[in-house]
Amino acid sequence: MIVHTRDADDDTIDILRGEMEKGRFSGLIHCFTGTQKLADAALELGLYISVSGIATFKNSRALRDVIATVPLERLLVETDAPFLAPVPHRGKTNEPAFVVHTAKMLAELKGVTEGELAKATTENFFRLFSKVQRPA
């Protein structure tokens, strides 16, 4: 399940917990912009958290503080193209090539190399989307 939620953390948590009681499922919070409360609940439920270019914006310090608490093995990085281009392309049409800027910020935030972040997020992708075959 892929969830995009904004300004509805408590409702989202309630819905996810209620649905999880009916049967476990995997998923992620897409384009995460939530609070620590939402991040903690999502992680408790076994979900992943996906980070977009929003986290690179100057006024996103609180968001980066939350993302810093998310274990590396539960993070994904995304473009959300054509929207939310990361700094230094903010305000432009986003494209997949720009994801490197978000990944660079995440690597710095997590205290790992860009290669380590790439390896971790790639593993997370294939673990979450288990029906996708890895390239040979």
Is 18 within the bounds of a domain? yes
What pLDDT, in 10s, does the model give residues 19-70? Answer: 999 999 999 999 999 999 999 999 999 999 999 999 999 999 999 999 999 9
What pLDDT, in 10s, does the model give residues 106-116? Answer: 999 999 999 99
Q: What is the chain's mean pLDDT, rounded?
A: 97
CATH for 110: 3.20.20.140
Is 43 within the bounds of a domain? yes
Is 38 within the bounds of a domain? yes
Q: Is the pLDDT assigned to residue 75 strictly greater than 90?
A: yes
Is 29 within the bounds of a domain? yes
Q: What is the 3-state secondary structure (H, E, C) of the chain?
A: CEECCCCCHHHHHHHHHHHHHHCCCCCEECCCCCCHHHHHHHHHCCCEEEECHHHHCCCCHHHHHHHCCCCHHHEEECCCCCCCCCCCCCCCCCCHHHHHHHHHHHHHHHCCCHHHHHHHHHHHHHHHCCCCCCCC
The pLDDT, as a whole number, for residue 77 is 98
The pLDDT, as a whole number, for residue 136 is 85
Is 134 within the bounds of a domain? no
The pLDDT, as a whole number, for residue 121 is 98
Q: How many domains does the chain have?
A: 1
Range of the domain at 27: 2-128
Is 135 within the bounds of a domain? no
